[in-house]
Chain A
Amino acid sequence: MSGLRERALAAEAAPRERWRHRVGSENVALAFRIGLIAAIGIVLALSTDAFLSTANLLNVLRQASLMFLLASGLTLVIVAGGFDLSIAANLTLSACLAAAAIKSGSPWLGAAIALGSSVAVGVLNGFAVTLLRLPPFLATYAMLWILQGLAFHYMGGLEIYGFPAAFRALGTGFLLGIPVPVYLMGVVLLAATLFTRATNFGQELYTIGANRDAARLSGIPVGKRLLLVYVVSGLMAGIAALVFLARVNAADSGMGEPLLLPVIAAVLIGGTSLFGGVGSVLGTALGATILAMVINGMNLLDIKAQWQPLVVGVVLLAAVLADLMGRGRRERIG
């Protein structure tokens, strides 16, 4: 009996669906974000003198790249239907653990410590979600507190600062006139895009996020794939920790916390659905860029700091609403 009804609904949805699927709904969402970046850019170029300067544009990109490094791992987790609230605390702890080694002149040892600790946290998150079957939000939220507590304990209220210049170049240096973190963003973006678009793993992540039960009943090893994304998310927190450490030239137990909400905002502004199965790392790169531009623009326009969160909230709502309207009624319900 539902056959006929569904056919009627399908026919109703057809015209919009027809042009969307020719272009691909993913591409429509990305084009919309590129348009948004252009629009914000034009507004800021016309309303401020400083925006279009090379130094400022590179600064915006550097801000975007720092957020993106954390946000890229989170994007994969959310696409696969999970969540990772522990990324910023993971960054804090890895940075704090690595700081002493780096300061004493062993940057490679420091890097190994940061990446080892962050990946270990990813493995624990993955086990909590797959083996213990904890809801991802809960498991990683608890992990956030645990990591933050370890960082407090380890640092004892002190900070470690003053790293060798060679290490600091990772966060502050330029190569051919472009900030080093921007290259990192490019490499990570390319790798993650290849991973999602050109490997079986990537395809499976989207299927798992779209419908975990169906993915499991299609023979996809859901547990192993989820473990993988939490490990990748942890690894990205470790990489971001090193870049951030090099940029701010200091480690303290509060360094990661202010990043968490902006990073989530970047992912969502980038068009990744909290319900899983929809989104892309490229979208997140654009989302981080939009967010960095908005914050930069507000600073240039002398908008007071206390107004800035409100504006970010409005941008986030606008981006998500635009996606919903573009996708049409039928998908919104599902």
Chain B
Amino acid sequence: MTGADARSAERSAKAPLLELRHVSKAFPGVRALDDVSLEIRGGEVHMLLGENGAGKSSLIKVLCGAYRPDGGEFLHLGQHLAIASPADARRLGIAVIFQEFSLVPFLDLAQNIFLGREPRHRGSPLVDRGRMHREAAGILASLGLDYDTHALAVDLGVAQQQMVEIAKALSQQARILVMDEPTAALSDRETDALFKVIRQLRASGVAIVYISHRLNEVFELGDRITVLRDGRRVAGMAVADATPEQLIGLMVGRAVGTVYARRHFATPGEPALEVRGLRTATGVDGVDLTVRRGEIVGLSGLVGAGRTEVARAVFGADPIAGGEVRVFGTRVDGGPERIAARGVALIPENRKHEGLALKRSTQDNLLAASLWKLFPRGGYRARRAVDRARELIARLRITPAEPRRHARVLSGGNQQKVVIGKWLAAGCSLYIFDEPTRGIDVGAKSEIFALIEELVTQGAAVLLISSELAEIVHVCDRAYVMRGGRVRGELARSELSEEAILRLAMHGT
């Protein structure tokens, strides 16, 4: 055998199971994927890295046939083909395990594993339950698990449900297993068990595409790494050749449109919000933070770090399990109506479900939090309400400038202005913004930041939650970084950088 033959044999053995070449996917206003190429090889754990919004989710959706790419090609074992539907992806042996599981709660494990593909008695439409349970037990056993296949999915913990999802994928002869942050909700011991299964699958030739925000996992489990940023593949390398610092450097520096340039920084005044030892059932695990009048304080961290949960607990939307919250020096508790009455505003993450009554008009939404301020004796006067709404519409430059237009038909940016306007009308002095620029175009973004800055120059205090690192760095006076329900560090303005935030936000660095 010549050297060339050996190399060719080695190449075919390592021929990628699936190859994506120059794949692009655009949505109005954003390039979700831009000329991304990816090789997925059997017997490898391929780590997919990138900040929030870098394009990882879009890439998964292309892989599992949920999105049809605008351009690019797929090769399966060197053969050209298309993944036009989830059925195509399944036929190629691609299975995705999402963060939200798809098990049916009140079916047992065997039923879940074989859902829609139940083995039948020969020549009969009746399900062969005996065989179904034997085969399910067999698959679970091959993963080293001895679960009772008669147990209901609803009775399983998160880690066990995940294992059942993996078993379900294997029962469909999956050769490529895509896992989206599989350890996000697992304990250390459960993580170890999962890694054992993943290593075993890798040894049997399955390809694993693994998305993680935890750098220690990348180095513990991964074989190769692809880094995405702004929908582009910015680097690919073997894990052995990578360092944590290098990976962080590759992930940061997203071009987030025009980042807002802050004009003034004032000396902060009295404390507006003091949170001490805050704990909640939703996963906040001892948070301390302070926001003063005249400053914009960032609350950064990756998705799932517990930032929204802090905001909701402070606002009284979720109960507090421990610790205390002080607003302008007074300890507060109770529901949102009590907290809002003290001049606290929450601009929630999900404006359509939590910020607006979409069926109601712009005017009704703008006045929803200030009716009793406008009409203290309870008598609502339509004329006066319209006038007040028009003032707010003009001040916030909401378009169309029509108070009776339904909130549903406004653009994302204008909807967000309505939510903000609701609290301006109430005359609040502590504003909690949770991802205020999500899904909003660039022009509206800078308008919203201009508004936030105007608020603090007038003496209000702002807590700004954002997953866009650049927003935190450019807009905030200082920032806290959360991970796993706790504040892992506080960065002064001079220390604020995307690298510094990511270093605190990611595990194992």
Contact = CB atoms under 8 A, between A and B. Distances in A.
A10 interface: yes
B402 A214 contact: no
Nearest to A210: B357
A3 B335 CA distance: 32
A21 B412 contact: no
A204 B356 contact: no
Contacts of A200: 371-372, 375, 378-380
Nearest to A333: B408
Interface in B333-386: 335-337, 339-341, 346, 348, 353-361, 364, 367-369, 371-372, 375, 378-382
Interface stretch (B154-162, B439-447, B475-483): B439-447
A219 B426 contact: yes
B200 interface: no
Interface stretch (B27-35, B89-97, B182-190, B238-246): B27-35
B378 A7 contact: no
Contact of B441 (A3, A210, A277): A3
B488 interface: no
Contacts of B357: 206-207, 210-211, 214-215, 277
A206 B360 contact: yes
Interface string A168-180: 0000000000000
Contact of A197 (B360, B364, B382, B413): B382
B406 interface: yes
Nearest to A213: B354
Contacts of B353: 211, 213-214
Contacts of A330: 408-409
A302 B348 CA distance: 59
A157 interface: no
A324 to B, nearest CB: 14
Contact of A217 (B32, B346, B382, B410): B346
B465 to A, nearest CB: 15
Nearest to B27: A1
B315 interface: yes
A86 to B, nearest CB: 27
Nearest to B402: A21
A221 B337 CA distance: 6
Contacts of A207: 357, 360, 364, 368
A278 B404 contact: no
Nearest to B312: A217
Nearest to A1: B30
B335 A210 contact: no
Given A1-B439, A198-B381, A200-B378, A219 B340 contact: yes
Nearest to B409: A10
A152 interface: no
A3 B364 contact: no
Nearest to B405: A21
Contacts of B341: 219
A8 B378 CA distance: 39
Contacts of B317: 216-217
A5 B380 contact: no
A82 B234 CA distance: 53
A331 B410 CA distance: 13
Contacts of A214: 353-357, 368
B355 A203 contact: no
A1 B444 CA distance: 12
B213 interface: no
A202 B379 CA distance: 10
For the residues of A in contact with B, the DSSP-based class is: helix
Given A1-B27, A334-B359, A217 B379 contact: no
Nearest to B29: A4
A13 B400 CA distance: 13
A7 to B, nearest CB: 4
Nearest to A7: B411
Interface centre among A9, A217, A219, A278 (most CB of B within 10 A): A219
B422 interface: yes
A217 B337 CA distance: 8
Interface in B185-200: none
A13 B409 CA distance: 7
B406 A21 contact: yes
Nearest to B353: A213
Interface in B314-334: 315, 317
A199 B379 contact: yes
Contacts of B359: 210-211, 277-278, 331, 334
B38 to A, nearest CB: 22
A4 B337 contact: no
A219 B372 CA distance: 11
Contacts of A9: 409
A8 B409 CA distance: 10
Contacts of B380: 197-200, 202-203
Nearest to B355: A214
Given A3-B29, A3-B444, A331 B354 contact: no
Nearest to B346: A217
Interface in A275-292: 277-278
A198 B27 contact: no
Interface string B98-124: 000000000000000000000000000
B470 to A, nearest CB: 17
Contacts of A197: 380, 382
Contact of B368 (A8, A201, A220, A278): A220
A211 B364 CA distance: 12
A218 B406 contact: no
Interface in A207-236: 207, 210-211, 213-221
A220 B364 contact: no
B423 to A, nearest CB: 9
Contacts of A203: 364, 367, 371, 380
A210 B381 CA distance: 21
Given A1-B29, A220-B337, A211 B412 contact: no
17 contacts: A5-B28, A7-B411, A10-B411, A13-B409, A21-B405, A202-B380, A204-B371, A211-B356, A211-B359, A214-B353, A214-B368, A218-B336, A219-B341, A219-B426, A221-B337, A330-B409, A331-B406
Given A6-B412, A207-B364, 9 more contacts: A3-B411, A21-B404, A200-B379, A214-B355, A214-B357, A216-B317, A218-B369, A219-B339, A277-B357
Interface of A: 1-10, 13-14, 17, 21-22, 24, 197-204, 206-207, 210-211, 213-221, 277-278, 330-331, 334
Interface of B: 27-30, 32, 315, 317, 335-337, 339-341, 346, 348, 353-361, 364, 367-369, 371-372, 375, 378-382, 402, 404-406, 408-413, 415, 422, 426, 439-441, 444
Closest 4 A/B residue pairs (Cβ): A219-B340, A210-B357, A3-B441, A1-B30
